[in-house]
Homo-oligomer: A and B are copies of this chain.
Amino acid sequence: MEFEDKNNEPTQLGELGEFGLIKHLTQNIKLQQPSTVYGVGDDAAIIQPTADHQTLVSTDMLVEGVHFDLLYTPLKHLGYKAVVVNLSDIYAMNGFPKQITVSLAVSNRMSVEALEEFYEGVLLACDFYAVDLVGGDTTSSNSGLVISVTAIGEVANGKAVKRSGAKENDLICVSGDLGGAYMGLQLLEREKRIFEENSQIQPDLGGKDYILERQIKPEARHDIITKLEELGILPTAMMDISDGLSSEILHICESSEVGCALYEEKLPIDPMTVTTAEDFNLDPTVCAMNGGEDYELIFTVPIEDHEKIRGMEGISIIGHITETNTGRMLITKGGTAQPIMAQGWNPILNKNDEE
Copies in the complex: 2
Checking B92, B101, B140 against A63 with a beta-carbon cut-off of 8 angstroms, the contacting residue is B140
CB distance from A260 to the nearest CB of B (A): 18
Nearest chain B residue, comparing its CB with the CB of A108: B349
Checking B49, B93, B255 against A54 with a beta-carbon cut-off of 8 angstroms, the contacting residue is B49
Q: Report whether B54 and A48 are in contact in the complex, using a CB–CB cutoff of 8 Å.
A: yes
Checking B44, B64, B155, B355 against A90 with a beta-carbon cut-off of 8 angstroms, the contacting residue is B44
- When A and B form their complex, which 4 residue pairs have the shortest distance between CB atoms, in order from nearest? A148-B148, A143-B143, A49-B49, A17-B350
Chain A residues in contact with chain B, CB under 8 A? Answer: 13-14, 16-21, 23, 37-38, 41-49, 51, 53-67, 89-90, 92-93, 95, 99, 101, 103-106, 108, 134-144, 146, 148, 150-153, 155, 160, 162-164, 238-240, 255, 344, 346-355
Given contacts A46-B55, A55-B47, A148-B148, contact A63 B105 (CB under 8 A): yes
Q: Report whether B43 and A142 are in contact in the complex, using a CB–CB cutoff of 8 Å.
A: no
Given contacts A142-B144, A350-B17, contact A45 B57 (CB under 8 A): yes
Q: Once the chains are docked, how many angstroms separate the CA of A216 from the CA of B173?
A: 50
Q: Report whether B142 and A46 are in contact in the complex, using a CB–CB cutoff of 8 Å.
A: no
Nearest chain B residue, comparing its CB with the CB of A351: B14
Checking B59, B92, B105 against A136 with a beta-carbon cut-off of 8 angstroms, the contacting residue is B59
Interface centre among A41, A103, A108, A352 (most CB of B within 10 A): A103
Checking B90, B160, B240, B349 against A18 with a beta-carbon cut-off of 8 angstroms, the contacting residue is B349
Q: Report whether A18 and B144 are in contact in the complex, using a CB–CB cutoff of 8 Å.
A: no
**Which residues of B sit under 8 angstroms from A90, Cβ to Cβ?**
43-44
Given contacts A19-B353, A137-B59, contact A66 B148 (CB under 8 A): no
**Which residues of B sit under 8 angstroms from A65, Cβ to Cβ?**
142
Q: Report whether B54 and A47 are in contact in the complex, using a CB–CB cutoff of 8 Å.
A: yes
Could you give 23 example pairs across A and B, Cβ below 8 Å?
A18-B346, A19-B344, A41-B255, A42-B93, A42-B164, A44-B89, A44-B151, A46-B56, A46-B93, A49-B55, A57-B99, A59-B101, A59-B135, A59-B137, A61-B139, A61-B148, A66-B105, A66-B140, A66-B141, A140-B347, A142-B143, A143-B143, A148-B148
**Which residues of B sit under 8 angstroms from A37, Cβ to Cβ?**
54, 160
